[in-house]
Amino acid sequence: MKKILLLAAIFSGAVFLSGCAKKEPAETLPGQTAPTSIPTKPVEETIKERPYVSLNVSSDNHWLTIDIKNIRKEMTALEYELTYFADFEGNRIERGISSGGKPVELSNQTEFSKKLLLGSASCTTGACKYKYDENVNEGMLILTLIGSGGKEKYESAFRIQKGKEAKEGLSAGDGVFSLISTALPQNSLYLTISSVGIPVQLPEGVTAKSIPYGVFPNLAGKGTVSFKTSLIQASIYALSGKSWQKLETTFEPGKAAAGFSNTSLFILGE
């Protein structure tokens, strides 16, 4: 339990700070000059450059599908690392999936998709036997984009919950975003995560004041979303189809809240 609480604290800091992309120099060959590290920038300045990330869980909680869109063409490769907790012989253990320490070449692709097994596989000619991890409900995704100018690193905590838990609140576990609804199917699984970027740019004149959060798969129904914030004049925006809808937002000390209907991606803007 202490380990889970410690990691949750790390997730909270990592996700909130990942509103600023962490930029690192790219690796160089002997004799080459290392590229200059680009200073960290706030989300207000980088939201148009960020990749859009969705993470969907299968109905049996055995697979995750990561989809990355809006990858800038100057990015030539990417790496991903996904860690999560699972039950094993009465204990809670940490497990992981990654690109294997070798960057995935993008070849001018602006999108990437990968189905990830929550467990292990033993494969012979023409067939695989799977052993699935049990009770996976929280974890962390680290995505690194690599270009000639350096590396951009994004970190997002995520949680997997059933629809019945939405009565108390679906969240990524970082204490920033929460979604409450009584309209979701009781036993359907939902995954909440920061989507890092957005698939559609915000309306002209609107500035991002938070990282975006998505609940996947897309929701059908009504509810309330809230953001932890010190702002008192911003608005919550929800992606509806191919455009952003400004929600009627109310404030109380430390929190902004708004009602929503049939949408799954949210951001705080001003």
Classify the C-alpha dihedral 40-198-171-144 as positive or negative: negative
What are the CA-CA distances from residue 172 to residues 53, 55, 65, 137, 215 (Å)? 14, 12, 17, 10, 9
- The pLDDT assigned to 2 comes to 39
Q: Give exposure, 247-270, as e/b (b: 16+ Cβ within 10 Å).
A: bebeeeeeebbbebeebbbbbbbe
pLDDT per residue of the chain (270 residues) written in tens, 0 to 9: 434 443 444 333 333 334 345 555 444 434 333 333 344 688 999 999 999 999 999 999 999 999 999 999 999 999 999 999 999 989 999 999 999 888 999 999 999 999 999 999 998 887 899 999 999 999 999 999 999 889 999 999 999 999 999 999 999 999 999 999 999 999 999 999 999 999 999 999 999 999 999 999 999 999 999 999 999 999 999 999 899 999 999 999 999 999 999 999 999 999
Domain boundaries, the chain: 2-23+38-117+132-269
- The pLDDT assigned to 227 comes to 98
- The pLDDT assigned to 73 comes to 93
Give percent above pLDDT 90 in the chain.
79
- Report yes or no: 106 and 36 within 8 Å, Cβ to Cβ: no
- The pLDDT assigned to 213 comes to 98
- Report yes or no: 151 and 25 within 8 Å, Cβ to Cβ: yes
Q: Please state, as a whole number, how many other Cβ atoms lie within 10 Å of the Cβ of residue 140.
A: 24
Q: Please state, as a whole number, how many other Cβ atoms lie within 10 Å of the Cβ of residue 26.
A: 17
Report the C-alpha gap between 217 and 212 in whole angstroms.
Answer: 15
Report the C-alpha gap between 206 and 185 in whole angstroms.
Answer: 34
Report the C-alpha gap between 266 and 227 in whole angstroms.
Answer: 10
Supply the CATH classification number for the domain 2-23+38-117+132-269: 2.60.40.10
Joined tokens for residue 158: 């995520």
